[in-house]
Structure 1
Amino acid sequence: MSIAEIKNKERVINELLRFIRKVLVEPDISEKALEIARKHFNEENAEVLIAEELTSTTNVKIPIEHSDADRLFLELLVDVVRDEKALY
């Protein structure tokens, strides 16, 4: 593994840790994020729609150019909602 790959993984981990801290400090973010994901998960470009609404309605700011950590978080939201729907 190259130094650049290691640095990139460290950056993604640090970004995810900052986000997790934000969610732990403001637990309403988690429920709001899931609510938004439920609304958009079946739409084309679901991750983009979720990111835009999260950015406009919470203090979670996901830029237009999603980082690796942003993509992981958005994919996780969609997966959680799909798992919820599969249970019913």
Structure 2
Amino acid sequence: MSIAEIKNKERVINELLRFIRKVLVEPEISDRALEIARKHFDEKNAELMIAEELSSTTNVKIPLEQSDADRLFLELLIDVVRDEKALY
């Protein structure tokens, strides 16, 4: 693994840790994120729509130019909602 790959993975991990801290301090973010994901998860541009609504309604800001950590978070939200839907 190259130094650049290691640095990128460290950056992603650090960004995810900052986000997890934010959610732990403001747990309502998690509920709101899942609510938004439920609304958009099966739409064509689900990730973009979720990111836009989450950014406009919470203090979680996901830019148009999404980082790897942003994409991982959005994928996770959609996976959780799909798992939730599969249970019913």
Where on the TM-score scale, by shorter chain, does this alignment land: which range? over 0.9
Partners in 1 of 2:48 and 2:21 — Cα distance? 23
Unaligned runs of 5+ in 2: none
Q: How does 1:1-80 map to 2 (within 5 A)?
A: 1-80=1-80
Could you state the TM-score of these two structures normalised by the residue count of structure 2? 1.00
Could you state the TM-score of these two structures normalised by the residue count of structure 1? 1.00
Cα distance, 1:29 vs. partner?
0.0
Partners in 2 of 1:74 and 1:45 — Cα distance? 11
Local SS of the residue matching 2:30:
helix
Unaligned runs of 5+ in 1: none
Q: What letter corresponds to residue 81 of structure 1 in structure 2?
A: V
Q: What letter corresponds to residue 35 of structure 2 in structure 1?
A: E
Local SS of the residue matching 2:62:
coil
Cα distance, 1:19 vs. partner?
0.1
Identity %: 88
Local SS of the residue matching 1:34:
helix
Q: Deviations over 1:1-32 (max 9, x none)?
A: 00000000000000000000000000000000
